[in-house]
Amino acid sequence: MTLLPALLLQDTGGSGAALIGLPELLVILAISVVFIVGMWRVFTRAGQPGWVCIIPIYNLYVLLQIAADLAGGSCSCSFRWSIS
């Protein structure tokens, strides 16, 4: 139990940790931007507004509507045949 106060008083050098985390943050931001731009283009080409890709649950709803429109009802027919 005497080790805990010593660990709390120890200097961890927070500035070095910030420099290590900065490249990871930049990579994550770059991947996020690429993903958002790609999804934006998908939605605009499907005739939907591009901002839909930013809203988490609503973008899935609209994406499923786009997929259903592209399928043209063929998925529902094959699903009905697989049930019976």
Separation of alpha carbons 84 and 82, rounded Å = 6
pLDDT tens digit string along 12-49? Answer: 666 665 667 788 889 999 999 999 999 999 999 989 99
Its pTM surpasses 0.75: no
User: Token pair for residue 73?
Assistant: 């009802």
Rounded to an integer, what is the distance from CA 7 to the centroid of its chain? 37
The model's confidence at residue 67, banded by pLDDT at 50, 70 and 90, is confident
- DSSP per residue, 11-72: ---HHHHHHHHHHHHHHHHHHHHHHHHHHHHHHHHTTS-GGGGGSHHHHHHHHHHHHHHHHT
